[in-house]
Amino acid sequence: MMDWTDRHCRFLHRLLTRRALVYTEMVTTGALLHGDVARHLQYGEEEHPVALQLGGSEPSDLAHCARLGQQWGYDEINLNCGCPSERVQRGAFGACLMAEPALVSDCVKAMVDVVGVPITVKHRIGINKNENYSFVRDFVGQVSEAGCSVFIVHARNAWLKGLSPKENRDTPPLRYETVHALKQEFPHLTIVINGGLADSSALRQQLAHVDGAMLGRAAYHNPWWLSEWDAAFFGEQPSAVTREQVEESMVVYMERQTRVKAEGWYSIARHMLGLRHGLPGARRWRQVWSDHRLKGEPPRAVMEKARQLGSVV
């Protein structure tokens, strides 16, 4: 999720789950070919397992960027074939690539040929208002032949005209049964479902039909939910971590970033504003951490103020 799942966000999420795979923001091939590679690819070792998501449609460019991703130590390279934004469409990648499965196959093969880490694809179940199952079935079938065995499927169509990216996350109807049908048709592939999943009960229902689930905004806005996952879905012991410990770890991280990167804490703190989601005093606590007037204060002092006001109900 561009501008959301940066390395600071991933650091927070890794404090809450050791087992779930975390993904970068979508990084375009142009940004890596012509921009600051380190700025786009740097991450903390504690983030593993971590996947790099690429946006692009030129096989040779994607191969070069996949090689960079492997050199930087990413555990997976993911190709975005699901983003519906007009800006991404103008770059001829994202969801519009679903109309060109042969090109996507060439892109996947070009990456598979140069790296040893898994190449995966994230996509929709269709584009515009074409709801024929054969469309997504043929897309998955053709791309899998190029060497992709993991498909992360957003269970909505992408309407390429007339809807904003936000509307594309809500307006096209969810059709989970289409994703289930893909797993039945391709039992040898790993099919991961995405879209509209907001609690652990919904996840369990879906995991009865598919191999995994990807969570986006629901996990971002309620990050504490992640603390349940290792026990609920990976067979680990229940986590003993508390919200206060997570907040303390984030403050230590902010202090370190301020010293090493000369980066203010404010852009880091935004990712944990949902940490106390649903608790009494959460709004007051959140208001302190998001108060731009406190940018000049050390993060530990801000934490103490947030806790004090957050405890007043």
Reading the block at residue 149, the tokens are 């065995």
State the SS3 of the chain: CCCCCCHHHHHHHHHHCCCCCEEEEEEEHHHHHHCCHHHHHCCCHHHCCEEEEEECCCHHHHHHHHHHHHHCCCCEEEEEECCCCHHHHHCCCHHHHHHCHHHHHHHHHHHHCCCCCCEEEEEEEEECCCCCHHHHHHHHHHHHCCCCCEEEEEEEEECCCCCCHHHHCCCCCCCHHHHHHHHHHCCCCEEEEECCCCCHHHHHHHHCCCCEEECCHHHHHCHHHHHHHHHHHHCCCCCCCCHHHHHHHHHHHHHHHHHHHCCCCHHHHHHHCCCCCCCCCHHHHHHHHCCHHHCCCCHHHHHHHHHHHHCCC
Give CA–CA dist 285/237, Å, rounded.
30
Give CA–CA dist 302/294, Å, rounded.
7
Candidates 9, 83, 107, 148; catalytic one = 83
The answer to whether residue 107 is catalytic is no
Residues with a known catalytic role: 83
